[in-house]
Amino acid sequence: MTTRTTLALLFAAAGLLSACGGSDDSKPATTTTVTDPDTVADQRASALVAQMTLDEKIQLVHGVGTQTGPLGGAGYIPGIPRLGIPDYYTADSATGVYQAKNGVTVDNGATAMPSNIALAASWDTQLAYNYGSQIGKELRTIGYTEGLGGGVDLARELRNGRIFEYMGEDPVLAGYLIASRTTGTQDQKVVATIKHFAANDQETNRFTSNSIIDERTLRELQLLPFEIGIKQGKPGNVMCAYNLLNGIKSCENTYLLTDVLKTEWGYQGKVQSDWFMALTDTVRGANAGLDEEEGGSTDDSAGFYGVPTFFNQKLKAAIAAGTVPLSRLNDMVQRKLRTMIRLGIMDSPAPLGGTIDQAAGDVAAKAAAEQSMVLLKNATPTGTTTPALPLNAATIQRIVVIGGHADVGVMTGGGSALTPPRGGNAVTCLNPTATIGGQVTGCATWYKSSPLDAIKAKAPNATVTYLDGSDAAAAATAAANADVAIVFGTQWETEGGDLASLSLPDAVADPANQSYDQNALIAAVAASAKRSVVVLESGTAVTMPWVNSVHSVLEAWYPGIQGGAAIADVLFGTVNPSGKLPITFPVNDTDQPQKAISSTDLNVVYSEGLNMGYRWYDSQNITPLFPFGHGLSYTSFAYSGLTTAVDANGNLTASFTLKNTGLVAGAEVAQIYAALPAAAGEPPQRLIGWQKVQLAPGASTKVTVSATAERLAIWDITLHQWRIPAGTFSFTVGGSSRDPLALASKQPFAGKVLALTH
Ligand code: BGC
């Protein structure tokens, strides 16, 4: 323990004793036995708050500029040296550290991990921990106190331009993964963020749109990933969203920030605003529970993008006027300091300007990419006896690789979730000023990780050629002359705008980044190739008018800085794919509950209620292109012997045997879904648990999956509590949400109201 800790403990102990009515002089103050780290952090933080002037407190609750300060990055709050409070540096870090200073991106060597939707497709909580840990390490190496990764808004609208930043459509999958990611980051002494709280589900009119959601839907879907992630991961930071929720700005929403987050969930960290236009009023924000304004400014006149801010002089004036109580300001500061103490940052702030270990980053990025790719389709070409994938390097002679800039790199998404490319963009933008409807569409980033080079390295004896895809007829001819044609399809999305369609874009849909009709190219290649493989680099679902005519489809997502090598490893079977879809892939855009994104109607009514994601397709009997949870392997798995038991408290244990019935080692994500008693009025099924199991060929194992009582509960809008309905529950276990071979089991339960717990 450092001297500073000891002093603070003494101070806190003395304060406690006097609060209890006086000290006992016969006992030294050092006999305090407080060891619980949360209590220690709280006591030290309140001792610091007690010593601070009003100006010092105000200083700690607003950023003083974006891309300013010694490090640049998203936010900067100077510390208070006289109290040992270090400077506070914040960077975006959805997929890696995004450092920019005064408008210039810093090429700091940060590792670009695969996108967050890819991480969700791994269904791997240990990988999520490693992902958070890797980014945390790099943030701390550079000197950052806080990272702004951790997007977990649900994929209600697949055309949302930020789907790649989020963790899919299921609240339980997203919740457990974000919790692990958070712990991974915070174990590196970096404050993690969970965002955007809440229901920030599309980019169109993102500052003014109003998500209208009934209480039960809100609690069972939109808030649930946050509830799980916050209770389990205990992030130091929750970022409130730009949008309104049921008519009130998220960052001024007392129900959201105070009643639910802080009171009901017992959240001890701080709430930070999103970067501009998130607030309209100082008093409303402060009293609703906002603890820090970001995109803040030195004088409240002009913050990020010149937008006026509210938590500097305006907050000071509100405190003086008594419209914001001083106790509220103290609480804002307390929340920030207790996290810095709790995570060890106060006593050991990160030194600035370290060097990133790029080799270690590459290993982490490759592992994540390999775990997250989803083999959607793998058919056996006519005249052969095995599926098109994996490719056999020993026998294959001619490979043609087509399109998607696969000769030079892999794509990634844009906006604050971008990790700047090491050594610059692999692809020159076709048209940086291209517009659609008067809006500049933006340039995609491709990392310098060439799938073509990696494919050549895998098949050194084959002739591997590349065509850029702009000439579909030439591509079809080359495909006819090759043993296999591998076509790359890319779909760029970015913060700030939504996709017009899930269809692979052409030059009209994405004039800055695409020069040809990708669907026509794939169809032409498929028509002539002996073996056709489509590799998709996308941030969300893709519609596939050509799906029946290609042999294989591999969803690689935005696979990060090691994407090229990871794609080749999967194509050649060095890695057996094990990813499963965290979102439903619909046949058409309009299969989704929201038929179109309105540019004029600011009220976004969640009229589908509980029927969101796969729940929608199940309840409406719509056959998806690929269902939630789907993903193939180069081996096969068999499930047998399901038994389930629900204890008196509503906790489920499910056991079954899983066997690898194929010829190669592989991992299966065994998924458990529950159908609630009919009277509960729930969608047909919900995911309640899963386990990813690695098995050698021929091996089998007994798998036990537990799910806590909350997973069987519904939100009771009369009690405002979780309640497990009485009746018979049906459980299924299988390899996707629509596995025809899934095993089923029924279990009666008497019903139970669950206590609100932290
Ligand atoms: C985004 C946040 C991001 C912030 C800082 C905002 O526009 O919505 O997700 O962390 O900018 O860059």
Of 68, 76, 92, which is best to mutate to test ligand 1, by the most ligand atoms within 8 angstroms of its C-beta?
Answer: 92
Active-site residue 38, yes or no? Answer: no
Q: Whose CA is nearest to atom 3 of ligand 1?
A: 416
Q: Which of 265, 223, 275 is nearest to 246 (CA)?
A: 223
Please report the pLDDT score of residue 91 as a whole number.
98
Of 274, 418, 419, which is best to mutate to test ligand 1, by the most ligand atoms within 8 angstroms of its C-beta?
Answer: 274
The Cα–Cα gap between 289 and 286 comes to 5
Closest ligand 1 atom to residue 75 Cα is 5
Ligand 1 centre to CA of 680 (Å) is 38
Ligand 1 centre to CA of 626 (Å) is 31
Of 148, 277, 304, 307, which is best to mutate to test ligand 1, by the most ligand atoms within 8 angstroms of its C-beta?
Answer: 148
Ligand 1 centre to CA of 445 (Å) is 18
Collect the ranges in the chain with pLDDT lower than 50: 1-26
Which residues approach ligand 1 with their CB closer than 6 A? 74, 92, 148, 195, 274-275, 416
Closest ligand 1 atom to residue 193 Cα is 10
Query: CA-CA-CA-CA torsion for 331, 334, 336, 340, nearest 10 degrees?
Result: -160
Ligand 1 centre to CA of 65 (Å) is 13
Please report the pLDDT score of residue 3 as a whole number.
32
Closest ligand 1 atom to residue 200 Cα is 8
Ligand 1 centre to CA of 416 (Å) is 6
Closest ligand 1 atom to residue 295 Cα is 5
Please report the pLDDT score of residue 8 as a whole number.
34
- Name the token pair of 51: 């010593």
Q: Whose CA is nearest to atom 6 of ligand 1?
A: 275
Closest ligand 1 atom to residue 241 Cα is 8
Q: Which of 494, 489, 523 is nearest to 506 (CA)?
A: 489
Q: Whose CA is nearest to atom 9 of ligand 1?
A: 416
Contact 76, 88 (CB under 8 A): yes
Which CA distances in Å does 714 have to 264, 267, 544? 16, 22, 36
Please report the pLDDT score of residue 28 as a whole number.
52
Residue 703 forms beta bridges with which residues?
Answer: 656
Please report the pLDDT score of residue 301 as a whole number.
87
Please report the pLDDT score of residue 418 as a whole number.
97
Provide the residue count of the chain: 758
Q: Is 312 helix (H, G, I), strand (E, B) or coil?
A: coil
- Name the token pair of 736: 């996707």
Please report the pLDDT score of residue 436 as a whole number.
86
Ramachandran category for residue 126: left, alpha or beta (phi over 0 → left; psi -120 to 50 → alpha): alpha
Q: What is the DSSP letter of 276?
A: S
- Name the token pair of 209: 């749109």
Q: Whose CA is nearest to atom 4 of ligand 1?
A: 275
| Domains recognised in the chain with CATH numbers | 7-358 (3.20.20.300), 373-605 (3.40.50.1700), 635-753 (2.60.40.10)
- Name the token pair of 519: 């669907």
Q: Is 244 helix (H, G, I), strand (E, B) or coil?
A: strand
Please report the pLDDT score of residue 31 as a whole number.
61
Ligand 1 centre to CA of 292 (Å) is 14
The Cα–Cα gap between 398 and 535 comes to 18
Which residue pairs from 27-31 have beta carbons closer than 8 angstroms and sit at least 24 positions apart in sequence? Answer: none
Distance from the Cα of residue 76 to its chain's centroid: 24
Closest ligand 1 atom to residue 92 Cα is 10
Closest ligand 1 atom to residue 206 Cα is 8
Ligand 1 centre to CA of 519 (Å) is 33
Q: Whose CA is nearest to atom 8 of ligand 1?
A: 274
Of 164, 495, 498, which is best to mutate to test ligand 1, by the most ligand atoms within 8 angstroms of its C-beta?
Answer: 495
Contact 155, 115 (CB under 8 A): no
Closest ligand 1 atom to residue 416 Cα is 12
The Cα–Cα gap between 560 and 372 comes to 11
Ligand 1 centre to CA of 274 (Å) is 6
Q: Whose CA is nearest to atom 7 of ligand 1?
A: 275
The Cα–Cα gap between 554 and 534 comes to 6
Ligand 1 centre to CA of 278 (Å) is 11
Ligand 1 centre to CA of 111 (Å) is 19
The Cα–Cα gap between 672 and 732 comes to 6
Residue 437: count of CB within 10 angstroms of its CB: 8
Those residues with Cβ within 8 angstroms of residue 195's Cβ, 6 or more apart along the chain or in another chain: 148, 150, 151, 152, 153, 238, 239, 241, 274
Ligand 1 centre to CA of 370 (Å) is 28
Please report the pLDDT score of residue 182 as a whole number.
98
Please report the pLDDT score of residue 548 as a whole number.
98
Concatenate the DSSP letters of all residues of 696-736 into one string: -TT-EEEEEEEE-GGGG-EEETTTTEEEEPSEEEEEEEESS
**Which residue out of 42, 92, 170, 274 is catalytically annotated?**
274
Closest ligand 1 atom to residue 148 Cα is 10
Q: Whose CA is nearest to atom 11 of ligand 1?
A: 275
Contact 128, 181 (CB under 8 A): yes
